[in-house]
Amino acid sequence: MEGIPSRGMAHRPVGTVWPRGPRASLDDNISEKSIASSILGTRHPTPSLTALGIPKAGSTNYPNAEARDGKLREAPTIIVAEKALKDISELLRGKSRGKCGGYIPPDFNPYVKCRLDGMRTLLSLYTTPGSSTYGKWIPSSEQAAITLHRNKNYCGRILRQLTRAYIQDREVLPINPYGEWCESLLVDEDLCHEINLFLQSLGDQITAQKLANFLSQPDIKERHGIDVDIHVTTACRYLKALNFRFSCPPKGQYADGHEHQDVVDYRDKAFIPKVKALEPRMQKFDPDSDPTAPLPITPFRPIVPWSHDESIFYAHDRRRSNWYHKDAPAVPYAKGDGLSFMVARAVSPDYGWLEPKPGCKIYKEDGTEVTAHRTLKPGKNRDGYFTSEGVLDQFRDMVAIAKSSYPDDDHVFFYDNAPSHLKRSPGALSARKMPMKTPKEGTNWLVDVPELGSDNKPIRDSITGAVRMKKVRMADGRFHDGTPQSLYFPEGHPRAGIFKGMKVILQERGYDVADKKAACGGAKFNCTPGATDCCCRRMLFNEPDFVNVKTQLQELAESLGVEVIYLPKYHCELNPIEQCWGFAKRLYRLNPLSSREDHLEANTLAALDAVPLQSIRKFSTRSHRFLDAYYRGLNGRQAAWATHKYRGHWVLPLTIMQELDDNQIT
């Protein structure tokens, strides 16, 4: 209790920080104005005597206060002291835990707790009839000071002051003054506001040095009374106090090309309408991942959406952050990512990973079981890479398993825009490399395609390793009425079997291309945005038969009685399997580190099988929220904000646009 500044016992109004100032004793017979000026100085509003714990004249707690000069030291009545004892005892006891029983210990620091205990002891000795100091105010305070092992005169006087202030106002509690002699500049609200505006103007280029330079400007120092230059270390502390942290920014969705016009056009005009048309036949799920209601009875069968993707797991991919002993030695670790293992699978919110149901397994002619997933050890000297042939082979098996295990459903497969998924049939229509005119005599224009072996895989040169190519004719086009149009002169023509050239092809379709050039920008093919007939190549690009060329995957899907829908580019948030990979890799990283290939394969497959169906449905619901956001006209940033705010919802509320405006999300 020794050396306690007198302001530590006074009541501090909310938002007020006490500056350093001369000591003032509440026992001194001084005026309200002198107390305020000595304790608060000129920067703070002047509180009343009651706020400082000084009783008013004529107070009901001190009925004779106005009649005596020692009114500031007058003892309270027994009745008033008993009420204060009850209140302070409840304060120190804490709030009730409710039905659990007991009380929650109050969160008082040792400084305040010690003084509250002394105040309670004083009131108890003063109001207890059996006490030797019953009804004696000063002796009771001295005895209370002795129980705290403090000087009875000085500490007793402080306890009397604190107790009188508490009796007058129950909100008046002892204040811990430590740490307030050297106050931060941030207690000045005007300066804080100016700092925040400055930091907002910096965007993501905030540094402590820039803040230090800002606070060291002469006009800032003069306006806020700063008499020293702010060091960069102090600026770091200010940034931390303002809730800034020096760290890597949290990762959101990818933005590269996300809002490109061609990507947005495909998303809004092709992808979303197609999914919305199928949506009534798809199962919906509530925030608990349970089906919302049975699908309505319609002439059409339910649709199961299957999301397909590939992902690579690495042998040395482990969680590095952990609890280590402070004296733990440095341990050598394997360099690099280690061996890789690729998995290609499909997943749906209805059934989880696509696998054959018990009793529905399918076997090939050689007796091997048909599996829906593919595994690969990627690398030139290992299993190679997952080519379009591998994609088609897996797709055949997935469709066979889906139809065998779930025969009462229709199946739709969603693929991303990987080149191996978009490969077209050899010789498919494409205007990219077409010549403008008919080739010269003795030459022809044909399409280079890979030469395939008996195993349906490209044949490679034994020396160079390059894929052998062969030349074939490009497939026929179609006129606007749907009749076929051969791109090569027919039999009986002087140039039979020779490519016609873009000029002749367009003339046969009724276009006047006398003044058209082959392509804008030469080989770079740089047409003006929005142009449709600036050159022959652009005109062919916009022809319906060239636009609607189907990929090999789509052609195979049609022959198998299912549908393939391609996701928009750069929109991984619309593919729920992406989060399934993340969930599985989190589990995979918990395994002990190993460089062995068999451990890599076993741990990968085990982690994938451990992804629960409930989580898969949550991932699917999140992807559908993004789709609904784009359907309502939100951009990528707005969709990310709305999806996070309404997590668990299948769709966004109708008021989402107003909420975006209110929160200034653009």
Sign, CA torsion 637/638/639/642: positive
For the stretch 202-225, pLDDT in tens is 888 899 999 999 999 999 999 888
pLDDT at 137: 94
| pLDDT of amino acid 182 | 63
Q: For position 119, what pLDDT does the model report?
A: 94
For 67-107, what is each residue's pLDDT tens digit? 445 555 689 999 999 999 999 999 999 988 887 788 888 88
pLDDT of 346 over the 80 cut: yes
Average pLDDT over residues 251-280: 84
Torsion from C-alpha of 415, 419, 423, 427, nearest 10 degrees: 160
By DSSP bridging, strand 447-450 and strand 103-104 are unpaired
pTM: 0.64
Q: Tens digits of per-residue pLDDT, 309-324?
A: 999 999 998 888 777 7
Q: What is the 3-state secondary structure (H, E, C) of 90-130?
A: HHHHCEECHHHCCEECCCCCHHHHHHHHHHHHHHHHHHCCC
Q: Which amino acid is at 108?
A: F
**CA within 13 Å, CB half, 661:** 4
pLDDT at 578: 93
Q: What percent of the chain has pLDDT over 70?
A: 86
453/623: higher pLDDT: 623
Weakest mean pLDDT among 102-106, 176-180, 503-507? 176-180
Q: Mean pLDDT, to the nearest integer, of 340-346?
A: 94
- Dist. CA 177–CA 542, nearest whole Å: 78
At 441, list the tokens.
């005599």
Measured between alpha carbons, how far is 590 from 643 in angstroms, rounded to an integer? 29
In angstroms, the CA 54 to CA 51 distance is 7
Computed over every residue of the chain, the mean pLDDT equals 83
Give the pLDDT of residue 189. Answer: 85
